[in-house]
């Protein structure tokens, strides 16, 4: 028997993609002897590390170790039943069932960033491991010991560490649609069913999406096709159910050091006739032929985040945090001019991701709100001037939803701080007073985007930076306390 064995995995960096070397060692605690047991087929050209390690409580000497940052030929787990003397590749003897989470069909099938592996201490065949895109489980793990196939299924329902860039809620069609890192984006028709990602093209990252306010079946999205920086956009005429890839990209886009999609934005005019794609490394560019051609906008700085007026199809807005200036176009994106200046340049703070661009209000031309970590700013004159409601101290995220009963102005939602109280808040009177709609036990970590539902009063969607999308609605009989 091999009692008293400690298995340790190593990597040469604490980061995710910066790891370039690693090893697996075994310590015999009875005599203090360390032994290098790194799987032998990886020792010669080890360009990756090891992280996950798990043991079988019923079979001493049976150990599993997982590679880390081995992008090709994908990460793997190795299994040994003799304390690390010999190893077998688990990937080579496994098949996958992705039916519970169809988005996994478009990802690295065996998983990436596999951080832990757990064998059921009461059942040697039952095991789970967590990957960067889900949790996998099996009930026949020991079959690999006789070089037979193991069968894996999704061991998580609705759990994935997704980073959400944007959630939109149009006035018709699916209530929310999402843009996110690593999994692309989704049209969420049924909250109880994991949807298939946007296709044609499938993007590993959708940085931004938008719809035409007066005809929300018309939509556009932009993002990354792969992890080396190839970008693309797409157009939909059926509310995001099907897509057609743009034939063109903005002049110069995808060539600069910030060509990673994270700061890209897309804006669709209120009537759907114009699309503006503002990539992070070049000037914003407009298209009037659904992405067949793009032309650079005059007067706008590189990296401007652009949004459309929700009423006037010729108006677009952008915010430049480096100068604290709002830029406005009144000719469908052909040119922009600076309007309000002197706005906050501090757009973020620890634990928050400020959206760093204005949000325009449906049904109210020229009405937009600018969220910042040092306050919330409101314009009713198309960005020429802004006022700051004194009631709210900080609001890095803002969004809008259906107006309260009897009201005509949409409900305003923020993630921010009012009178020293942080939370997710709603205002039904254009930002004069606020109610907190979450509590201390439900703060959901770092948050990145928020929007209300224009068809359901009180429904709000919040995109997190690692916990997917959470949504909430007022509970029957629930009373919220005003934060004046």
Residues 6+ apart with CB under 8 A from 362: 171, 213, 310, 311, 400, 410, 454
**Residue 211, CA distances (Å) to 71, 103, 107, 366 in order:** 35, 23, 27, 18
* Secondary structure of residue 36 in the 3-state scheme: strand
Strand-by-strand arrangement of the 285-287 sheet: 265-268, 275-278, 285-287, 295-296
Fold agreement (5-154, 164-483): yes
Residues 65 and 457: their CA atoms lie apart, in Å, by 50
Query: For the purposes of burial, counting CB atoms within 10 Å of the CB of 479, is it exposed (0-12), middle (13-18) or buried (19 or more)?
Result: exposed
DSSP letters, 241-292, are: SS-EE-S---TTTT-STTTTSTT-EEEE-TTSS-EEEE-TTS--EEESSTTS
Q: Provide the pLDDT for residue 104.
A: 87
Residues 95 and 82: their CA atoms lie apart, in Å, by 25
Domain 164-483, CATH number (from 1.20.1440.230, 1.10.1030.10, 2.130.10.10, 3.30.70.3280): 2.130.10.10
User: Residues of 270-296 as b/e, b for ≥16 C-beta within 10 angstroms?
Assistant: bbbbbbbbbbbbbbbbbbbebbeebeb
* Secondary structure of residue 165 in the 3-state scheme: strand
Q: Provide the pLDDT for residue 294.
A: 98
Phi, psi (rounded to 5 degrees) for 390: -70, -15
Residues 440 and 423: their CA atoms lie apart, in Å, by 8
Q: What is the pLDDT along the chain (484 residues), one digit of tens a residue?
A: 456 889 999 999 877 778 888 999 999 999 999 999 999 765 556 788 999 999 999 998 999 999 988 877 788 999 999 999 999 999 999 999 999 988 888 876 677 788 899 999 999 999 999 887 889 999 999 999 999 999 999 998 766 678 899 999 999 999 999 999 888 999 999 998 889 999 999 998 999 999 999 999 999 999 999 877 889 999 999 999 999 999 999 998 875 544 444 458 999 999 999 999 998 888 999 999 999 999 999 999 988 889 999 999 999 999 998 889 999 999 999 999 999 999 988 554 434 455 768 999 999 999 999 999 889 999 999 999 999 988 889 999 999 999 999 999 999 999 999 888 899 999 999 999 999 999 999 999 889 999 999 999 999 999 998 888 999 988 764 444 333 3
Reported as a single tens digit per residue, the pLDDT across 399-427 is 999 999 999 999 999 999 988 889 999 99
Residues 279 and 176: their CA atoms lie apart, in Å, by 24
Residues 445 and 464: their CA atoms lie apart, in Å, by 7
> What fold, for 5-154?
Methylamine Dehydrogenase; Chain H (2.130.10)
Residues 6+ apart with CB under 8 A from 425: 392, 413, 414, 415, 416, 418, 434, 435, 436, 437, 483
Phi, psi (rounded to 5 degrees) for 380: -120, 10
Extents of the domains making up the chain: 5-154, 164-483
User: Residues of 1-10 as b/e, b for ≥16 C-beta within 10 angstroms?
Assistant: eeeebebebe
Q: Provide the pLDDT for residue 71.
A: 77
239 close to 219: Cβ distance less than 8 angstroms: yes
Report residue 483 as tokens: 């934060």
Residues 208 and 232: their CA atoms lie apart, in Å, by 11
Residues 484 and 481: their CA atoms lie apart, in Å, by 9
Q: Provide the pLDDT for residue 349.
A: 40
Phi, psi (rounded to 5 degrees) for 200: 55, 65
């Amino acid at each position: 028997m091999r009692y008293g064995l400690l298995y340790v995995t190593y990597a040469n960096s604490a980061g995710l993609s910066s790891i370039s070397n690693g090893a697996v060692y075994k310590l015999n605690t009875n005599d203090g002897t360390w032994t290098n047991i790194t799987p032998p087929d990886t020792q010669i050209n080890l360009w990756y590390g090891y992280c996950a390690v798990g043991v079988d409580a019923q079979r001493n000497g049976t150990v599993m170790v997982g590679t880390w940052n081995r992008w090709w030929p994908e990460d793997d787990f190795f299994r040994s039943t003799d304390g690390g003397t010999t190893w077998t590749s688990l990937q080579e003897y496994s098949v996958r069932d992705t039916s519970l989470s169809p988005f996994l069909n478009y990802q690295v099938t065996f998983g990436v960033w596999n951080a832990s592996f757990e064998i059921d201490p009461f059942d040697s065949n039952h095991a789970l491991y967590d990957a960067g895109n889900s949790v996998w489980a099996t009930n026949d793990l020991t079959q690999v010991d006789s070089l037979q196939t193991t069968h894996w299924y999704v061991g998580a329902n609705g759990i994935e560490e997704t980073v959400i860039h944007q959630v939109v809620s149009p006035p018709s069609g699916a209530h929310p649609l999402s843009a996110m890192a690593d999994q692309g984006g989704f049209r969420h028709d049924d909250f109880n069913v994991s949807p298939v990602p946007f296709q044609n093209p499938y993007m590993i990252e959708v940085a931004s999406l938008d719809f035409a306010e007066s005809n929300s079946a018309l939509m556009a999205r932009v993002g990354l096709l792969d992890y080396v920086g190839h970008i693309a956009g797409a157009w939909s005429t059926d509310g995001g159910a099907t897509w057609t890839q743009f034939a063109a990209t903005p002049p110069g886009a995808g060539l600069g050091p910030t060509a990673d999609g994270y700061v890209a934005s897309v804006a669709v005019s209120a009537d759907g006739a114009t699309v503006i794609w503002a990539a992070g490394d070049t000037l914003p560019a407009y298209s009037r032929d659904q992405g067949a051609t793009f032309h650079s906008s005059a007067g706008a700085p590189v990296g401007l985040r652009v949004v459309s007026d929700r009423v006037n199809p010729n108006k677009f807005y952008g915010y430049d945090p480096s100068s604290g200036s709002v830029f406005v176009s009144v000719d469908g994106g052909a040119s922009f001019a600076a309007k309000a200046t002197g706005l906050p340049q501090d757009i973020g703070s620890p634990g928050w991701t400020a959206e760093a661009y204005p949000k325009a209000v449906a049904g109210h031309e020229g009405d937009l709100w600018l969220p910042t970590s040092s306050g919330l700013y409101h314009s009713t004159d198309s960005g020429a001037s802004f006022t700051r409601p004194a009631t709210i101290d900080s609001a890095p995220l803002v969004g809008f939803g259906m107006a309260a009963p009897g009201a005509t102005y949409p409900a305003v939602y923020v993630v921010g701080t009012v009178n020293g109280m942080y939370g997710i808040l709603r205002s039904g009177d254009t930002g004069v007073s606020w109610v907190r709609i979450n509590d201390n036990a439900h703060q959901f970590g770092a948050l990145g985007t928020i929007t209300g539902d224009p068809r359901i009063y009180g429904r709000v969607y919040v995109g997190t930076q690692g916990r997917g999308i959470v949504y909430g609605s007022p509970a029957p009989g629930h009373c919220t306390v005003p934060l004046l």
